[in-house]
Structure 1
Amino acid sequence: MSAGYDLYAPGDSWLHRLDPRVKLILTAMAALLVLLWSSLPLLLAALALAHLLLALARYPRGLAIGVWRALAPLLILIVTLWPVFDRRGEPVLLALGPLIVTGEALLRGLATALRIAALSFTLLLWLGTTDQRSLVRSLVRLGLPFSLGMALTIGLRFIPTFAGVYQTVSEAFQARGLTLPPRGLRRLQAMLPILVAALVTALRMSEQLGWTLAARGVGAPVRRTTLRDLAMRPADWLALAAGLAAGLALLWLTLAEGLGRALR
């Protein structure tokens, strides 16, 4: 069972083969830069670069479009409402009673929307090309306790699994004559039996999961071993060095020289 919550797309591209620890470190560096920048050209460049890297990694276009669809309502809301609540700057584009819209506020709203989009697709470079086992293993190797890593793995696994359970139960109920109103409170009331059945199924699955973890010795007071451990290759070290050098140079230019701090 799958759902749209799982952004990972299996593949054998250079980005898929890159060590997940390297991807995490470089993603964190890129996210820091995007958070510090306010320049529209730089934010657009970061967003375009993320899309270029996804294309080079042969990430499925349908999943990328799905991310845009999920982001679109939030981005439109930010661009629409930001100028309403932020009255600073010039020139004044609209003055209608208490409503004042300035060009600078409009640009700030657009920059905020671009920042969120660039951050989302920067994270997608990491999440979309790293399977959940390697992702959590990399966090454990970087110092995260194994118990937290296991909890994170289970959480990541059960989000799409529970969504799939809900979809299966919903289809079963509708095949037996249940009609879901298109919207409103009546739809919520009609969904209650589906939610109850899906919750019962999820609780049964959690009990089976507990038995499985106990059978595999999770929680036993012994040193754990790993079937497939992570190992840095020369290409990983090269990518890490090049990425950190470029990121630290941009960070120094941003903090010391004010790169990207202006809107234009």
Structure 2
Amino acid sequence: MTSLLVVERTTAMHRVNPVAKLLAALTIAIVLVLTIDVVSAGVALAVEALLLPFAGVRPRTFWIRTAPVWIAAPLAALTIALYGQPGGTVHFSWFLIHVSDGSLHLALATSLRVLAIGLPSVVLFITIDPTDLADGLAQVLHLPSRFVLGALAGMRLVGLFAQDWQALEAARRARGVADRGRIRRFLGMAFALLVLSVRRGSKLATAMEGRAFGAPVRRTWARESRFGAAEWTVVAAGLLIAALAVVVSVATGSWNFIGAR
């Protein structure tokens, strides 16, 4: 079975252990979640802009995959600007809407934070192969192999959902039962796809059990998951971005810890 999540190892970043990518993205996200200010998010985003070209993602792929982040950032900023906590000069007020200096500053900080967290996470994720990720989680982080292999099997089947939906739609049209009622048609196809997924999952579980994937013994792995200099470099880059954002924000007096709000 094929999957849409298979990644070609065309650059050095694609060959980096996925665990290192997850740790780097998680470090940046945790630090930026602790504060909501323009300086920390802006500094992190500026450094990420310098490093993202080295991720080996093609420009077209980058803009397509990160499109939801670029859409979510201004939408989040608009919501905060209209309904955020007012402060300073009020520019517009009507019913629940209060646009002020405080809400606009908070909106800008929120937008930058969404971009600073979302962009590196998406870019690093699209360079991860599911099999490499499973190997890393089991061999580097020592997570339970049964959980890891089950998740890997599920991820491998994600790419088949779109194919199943298209085949099911074509079959229903050929039988003349998909010409009217979009909602009814969608619900019928969704139920049919659910039944198909349950059957496929049962067969896959039986096949995996027959191959001793659930045996209570220490597993061996076909490929060794290594964590070397390249991986530590990626983790260090994440720590550097997070530390630089905190230092600059604290030095300029912009640090705004969310727990103190």
TM-score by length of 2: 0.80
1:58 aligns with 2:56: yes
Contact 1:50–1:125 under 8 Å retained in 2: no
Contact 1:169–1:194 under 8 Å retained in 2: yes
Instruction: Give the drift of 1:201.
Output: 2.0
* CA 237–117 in structure 1, closer or farther in 2 if over 3 Å, else same: closer
Contact 1:253–1:259 under 8 Å retained in 2: no
Aligned to 1:132: 130
TM-score by length of 1: 0.79
Aligned residue among 242, 246, 251 for 2:240: 246
What amino acid does structure 1 have at the position aligned with 2:103?
A
1:107 aligns with 2:105: yes
% same residue: 25
Contact 1:30–1:247 under 8 Å retained in 2: yes
Aligned to 1:201: 196
What amino acid does structure 2 have at the position aligned with 1:96?
W
Contact 1:2–1:164 under 8 Å retained in 2: no
Contact 2:86–2:103 under 8 Å retained in 1: yes
Secondary structure at the aligned position of 1:142 is classed as: coil
Contact 1:36–1:261 under 8 Å retained in 2: no
Aligned to 1:261: 255
Contact 2:47–2:241 under 8 Å retained in 1: no
Deviates more, 1:222-231 or 1:119-128: 119-128
* CA 69–113 in structure 1, closer or farther in 2 if over 3 Å, else same: same
What does residue range 73-88 of structure 1 map to in structure 2 within 5 Å? Answer: 73-88=71-86
* CA 180–260 in structure 1, closer or farther in 2 if over 3 Å, else same: farther
C-alpha distance in structure 1 between counterparts of 2:238 and 2:72, whole Å: 31
Aligned to 2:205: 210
Deviates more, 1:244-253 or 1:16-25: 244-253
C-alpha distance in structure 1 between counterparts of 2:212 and 2:47, whole Å: 44
Deviates more, 1:138-147 or 1:40-49: 40-49
User: Structure 1: where are the runs of 5+ without partners?
Assistant: none
* CA 73–245 in structure 1, closer or farther in 2 if over 3 Å, else same: closer
Aligned to 2:87: 89
C-alpha distance in structure 2 between counterparts of 1:156 and 1:252, whole Å: 35
What amino acid does structure 2 have at the position aligned with 1:138?
G
Q: Which 4+ residue blocks in structure 1 deviate beyond 6 angstroms?
A: none
How many residue pairs are counted as aligned between the two chains? 254
Secondary structure at the aligned position of 2:87 is classed as: coil
